[in-house]
């Protein structure tokens, strides 16, 4: 019996060896940068798009309230779906996660629903590849916890496990390794009108200690940095930001707008979440002296705030967790929405009465500042305080429809306008 047991165990171990050999390794990235094959199997498993889960999500979407004429549908099942980057050619949408995968989502028939969802670049070891963004000429940037990669022609190579890939910022050089944390390390990125790469660097604490100030000012932790697309000439663009997980440029005046998640533990209704505007580099947005809006933090209440602090354009509901945002540049939606901002609220975790889990809309005044903010889509938080979804990001497809990612349900939704 012992011999049979040993043979069986050995057989199982031998069967597992090929699978182990196919796991991504650190050396694969170097091979890909030289356009060499990594030996990863050509067939990439697809995420099933039908079944009981998809059916239930469609039922849940019947509870979502939208303005008249709008409709929401399931676009794709994407595990842990976070921030999204729609390819310039409209071929594929890339979806980051807070785990170790990036997904490629394809609607080949242009039916308004994805037929194919599969892992992107499975031969690469990712770590929190939340931040995904495209340059206008088709370079996909992926910002991880502490590394930045770029994938030229990602829309062309995505069907293969081996893709052209290059390092923009080496592992351990985006932030000092000693500052790596499980908290507030989901990065977001954008290519600016100056053709530079902008990256948010959330600081890992609720409110950081004064001893951290000099290091964070120097590195841009608790701020937004920018650099050339090859990683050179890095600089701190904005500071005084607690944890921004959403940004976009206004195509009209080129200003950078971003959300910010504010200090916890100060009460249900304070401090507010933020939607901010940076029309030039070097601005300070108040944290850690201010916990959100003009609410002072306990830790810095006796310390003089910096001069000329820039306060938010919009004060959002406290603890609603404002994340991804995008300017709407399409023509499908009514005139009211054109040129305005859609933003996602992930939903509160530490409020006695939960709030959030919805999509907001902010219109702008002729001078480019914020006008009015209103709820656009809601219903993922039920009347009894249960989440059936938690929106993370919003992105616009080429046809002017709006995608909404949801890491709780593991899905991406599509909102269209069909008229009254």
Q: Are 219 and 204 in contact (CB under 8 A)?
A: no
**Dist. CA 187–CA 198, nearest whole Å:** 10
Cα–Cα distance list, 96 to 36, 89, 371 (Å): 25, 19, 31
Tokens (6 digits) for 271: 């401090």
Cα of 233 vs its chain's centroid, Å: 24
For the chain, domain boundaries = 58-74+325-420
Distance CA 89, CA 268 (A): 44
| Secondary structure (3-state) at 179 | helix
Distances (CA, A) of 194 to 77, 198, 315, 384: 35, 10, 28, 47
The pTM (predicted TM-score) of the whole model is: 0.94
The whole-number pLDDT of residue 419 equals 85
Residues linked to residue 139 through DSSP beta bridges, in sequence order: 152
**Predicted local confidence at residue 23, as pLDDT:** 67
Per-position DSSP letters for 325-342, written without gaps between them: EEE---SSS-GGGTT-EE
Rounded distance, CA 225 to CA 202, Å? 11
Using 70 as the pLDDT threshold, list the residues of the chain that sit under it. 1-23, 420
Residue 305: its pLDDT value, please?
A: 97
**Per-residue pLDDT at 277:** 98
Are 379 and 63 spatial neighbours (Cβ–Cβ below 8 Å)?
A: yes
């Amino acid at each position: 019996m012992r011999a049979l047991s040993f043979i069986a165990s050995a057989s199982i171990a031998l069967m597992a060896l090929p699978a182990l050999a196919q796991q991504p390794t650190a050396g694969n990235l170097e091979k890909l940068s030289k356009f060499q094959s990594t030996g990863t199997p050509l067939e990439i498993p697809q995420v099933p798009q039908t079944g009981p889960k998809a059916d239930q999500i469609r039922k849940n979407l019947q509870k979502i309230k939208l303005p008249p004429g709008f409709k929401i549908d399931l676009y794709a099942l994407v595990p842990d779906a976070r921030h999204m980057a729609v390819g310039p050619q409209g071929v594929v949408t890339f979806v980051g996660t807070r785990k170790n995968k990036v997904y490629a989502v394809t609607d080949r028939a242009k039916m308004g629903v994805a037929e194919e969802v599969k892992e992107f670049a499975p031969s690469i070891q990712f770590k929190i590849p939340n931040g995904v963004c495209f340059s206008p000429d088709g370079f996909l940037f992926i910002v991880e916890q502490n590394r930045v990669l770029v994938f030229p022609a990602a829309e062309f190579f995505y069907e293969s496990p081996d893709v052209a890939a290059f390092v923009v910022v080496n592992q351990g050089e985006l932030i000092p390794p000693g500052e790596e944390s499980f908290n507030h390390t989901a990065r977001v990125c954008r290519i600016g009108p100056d053709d530079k790469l902008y990256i948010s660097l959330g600081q890992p604490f609720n409110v950081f200690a004064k001893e951290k100030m000099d290091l964070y000012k120097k590195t841009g932790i608790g701020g937004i940095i920018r650099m050339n697309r090859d990683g050179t000439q890095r600089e701190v663009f904005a500071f005084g930001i607690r944890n921004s997980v959403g940004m976009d440029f206004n195509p009209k005046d080129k200003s950078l707008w971003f959300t910010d998640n504010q200090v916890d533990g100060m009460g249900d209704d304070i401090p507010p979440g933020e939607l901010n505007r940076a029309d030039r580099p070097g601005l300070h947005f108040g944290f850690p002296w201010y916990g959100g809006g003009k609410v002072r933090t306990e830790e810095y209440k006796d310390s003089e705030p910096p001069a000329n602090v820039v306060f938010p354009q919009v004060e959002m509901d406290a603890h609603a967790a404002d994340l991804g945002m995008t300017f709407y540049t399409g023509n499908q939606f009514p005139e009211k929405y054109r040129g305005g901002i859609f933003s996602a609220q992930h939903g509160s975790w530490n409020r006695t009465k939960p709030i959030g889990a919805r999509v907001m809309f902010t219109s702008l005044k002729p001078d480019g500042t914020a006008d009015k903010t209103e709820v656009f889509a809601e219903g993922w938080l039920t009347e009894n305080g249960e989440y059936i979804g938690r929106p993370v990001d919003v992105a616009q497809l080429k046809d002017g429809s709006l995608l909404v990612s949801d890491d709780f349900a593991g899905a991406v939704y599509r909102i269209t306008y069909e008229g009254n």
